Structure 1
């Protein structure tokens, strides 16, 4: 009876280990991170060029001559990031000057640029930016699933 249980246990272990061992061997031969068993991470796929990172969302704040934010930069960034947080996203910020007057806010996702918005209308660009981010993510996912 014990010997019979050992046979069943060995067969079960072989059924689990064999596919993983085969895929790990194939991963070592091809360096394709999608083949690594239980080791696929988004960062590894981006590093392998299989997923376009699309980069982070970049919020560019252009301050015109004499213009300033009505709050501190950290408070402004926190308020924009709270809005992006509703979509599970976050933004990095870049500040620049422009020759005009007033404040212009532009959101960039990969090669897509959304805006420019005035400070009062900055929130209107959050949803289109989140949509652009998701479309870029879906596009890069489709590239992975496409068969050569």
Structure 2
């Protein structure tokens, strides 16, 4: 973020962006409850860097955004249901965080999916171009037939 927005740059500080999903149990809670629970969880995950009492880490600014149904619920065995970027329909492609890629519903997943989609289009365009050239060559009259 500090590369895109210079006013966020501070070599002595860090910035976190977190997503809770699924968030049914959190959507009705206050921002303060969400921040407190987040800090407790971060303290468990990073005990040397973040302490629940905020003696090692302080929140200087936060903003909680609640967007119901903004990401799909990840449940066991749903991965096989995610479609590939190259669909079974020739010339029809899919891109989005819901497609098959290594991330869940996120901007990173959408970007990676777009990259995979573009790669599929480029690969297929080369194959279709070759097929078209071969078709034209096979339909061209041979000089001896003229």
Output the TM-score relative to the length of structure 1: 0.28
Structure having the higher helix fraction is 1
Question: Which has the larger share of strand?
Answer: 1
Structure with bigger RCO (C-alpha 8 Å, 6+ apart): 1
TM-score by length of structure 2 reads: 0.28
